[in-house]
Amino acid sequence: MDKHKFETSAIRTQLSQTAHKEHSAPLFLTSSFTFDSAEKGARIFKGEQAGNLYSRFSNPNTEELANKLSEMEGTEAGMTTASGMAAVFTSMAALLQSGDHIISSKSIFGNSIYILDQILPSWGIEVSYVDIHDKEGWTKAFRKNTKMLYLETPSNPTLQTADLGYIGALCQQHKVIFSVDNCFATPYLQQPTLFGADLIIHSATKYIDGQGRVLGGAILGKKNHVSKCYDFVRRTGAALSPFNAWVLSKSLETLALRMDRHCANAATLADFLAEQADFSSVIYPHHRSYPQLDLAKKQMAQGGGLVGCEIKGGAARGARFINALQLHSKTANLGDSRSIATHPASTTHSKLTEAQQLDIDITPGYLRFSVGLEHIDDIIKDIDQALHHSRN
């Protein structure tokens, strides 16, 4: 049978029916699974026979989600974790060891920086940071002991775009694991494997869920890398619950529809913000003013659901503006059906020093909008009234 289109695979990739002939995949809320015989149990434990053992590392619901995401991203294998940060940490902890060196973009989530700055160095792992746009910097960063290169694109929270093709070729040349966090774009808009990625990381908590309900993460990529990550989670316990896996798998059925609406709303909002004198800059990967517009269009089918902007008046004006919002939720999450306004300097990246924030373009007046699925007229109306009230 020919390979299905993205939307069809998202809906039709699921567990085989049980004897009950259910139409929707069932929930397997069980901590363990029984064996037909002692001999069969022994074979499963040895890996000589397929079968589920214990939901910390083996459950039909988590397997379905991993298989579906792997198919969407075009990877050899996939696995799930309890959260996006568990996926980030596992992908590094399972594949790096003392004496190794990892290269990372400066423009990544604050908690990922904590892992790189605080945890890995204590294990004897060296870390180097490179400006996401600095091609010469990427080239010079490789050492004899470099094992992995990690980045986000678009980056959190300033929506900068990494040149995946250029960096992927460098990683291939140096035989280094190329790990890409694809959370903001989702596999519907961007597939890093097409540009040489060996591992793809997701916080499924965001767009994959899409409604702000459950936590989850995923690691997808080459089979030998994913296998090591799977063994790490099996023994350390950062497992995704079967219920969360079931929710996330069902959510994937509407990912394409939701992302189309997120992107359409975000593009319209970016146009509106660009016309307002209250903002000194607007950042949206497919907006005409975006510095890397050609690259973003090459890598992403659409511009995504996030819009960044710099409000004039700094942190004080930004706080007045956020406090005046009525429709938008005030939270640090993103990828929800409901629109969200976030001030990264005081929330998601607050643990960084001011110098570190400025080094990755997080200024006191920088705001991030996670543009939801509401009618765009209502989204713009709320922002317009909040701008009016924050001017005083």
Residue 1's pLDDT band (cuts 50, 70, 90): very low
Domains contained in the chain, CATH given: 6-252 (3.40.640.10), 255-390 (3.90.1150.10)
Residue 318 pLDDT exceeds 60: yes
Residue 175: phi and psi, rounded to 5, are 55, 50
Residue 360 pLDDT: 78
Sheet holding 77-81: strands in order across?
Answer: 77-81, 217-221, 199-203, 177-181, 146-152, 101-105, 126-130
Looking at residue 57, its pLDDT comes to 92
pLDDT, average across residues 70-87: 98
State percent of the chain over pLDDT 70: 99
- Per DSSP bridges, beta strands 279-283 and 217-221 are unpaired
Per DSSP, the three-state class of 291 is: coil
Residue 351: its pLDDT value, please? 78
The answer to which of 32-46, 138-152, 259-273 has the lowest mean pLDDT is 32-46
The whole-number average pLDDT for the span 105-123 is 95
CA distances from 166 to 136, 143, 197, 286 (A): 11, 18, 11, 20
Mean pLDDT of 156-176: 97
Query: What mean pLDDT is reported for the chain?
Result: 95
Q: Mean pLDDT, to the nearest integer, of 53-73?
A: 95
- Per-residue pLDDT at 222: 98
Measured CA to CA, the distance from residue 77 to residue 116 in angstroms comes to 25
3-state SS class at 35: coil
Contact 300, 189 (CB under 8 A): yes
Query: Sign of the C-alpha dihedral, residues 265, 161, 210, 3?
Result: positive
Residue 113 has pLDDT above 70, yes or no: yes
Q: What is the pLDDT of residue 372?
A: 97
Instruction: Pick the more confident residue, 35 or 230.
Output: 230
Is the pLDDT at 47 greater than 90? The verdict is no
Q: Is pLDDT of 3 > 90?
A: no
pLDDT, average across residues 192-218: 98
Q: Could you tell me the pTM of the whole model? A: 0.95
pLDDT digits (tens, 9 = 90+) for 242-286: 999 999 999 999 999 999 999 999 999 999 999 999 999 999 999
Confidence of residue 2 (pLDDT cuts 50, 70, 90): low
CB 50 within 8 A of CB 44: yes
- pLDDT tens digit string along 208-244? 999 999 999 999 999 999 999 999 999 999 999 999 9
3-state secondary structure 262-287: HHHHHHHHHHHHHCCCCEEEEECCCC
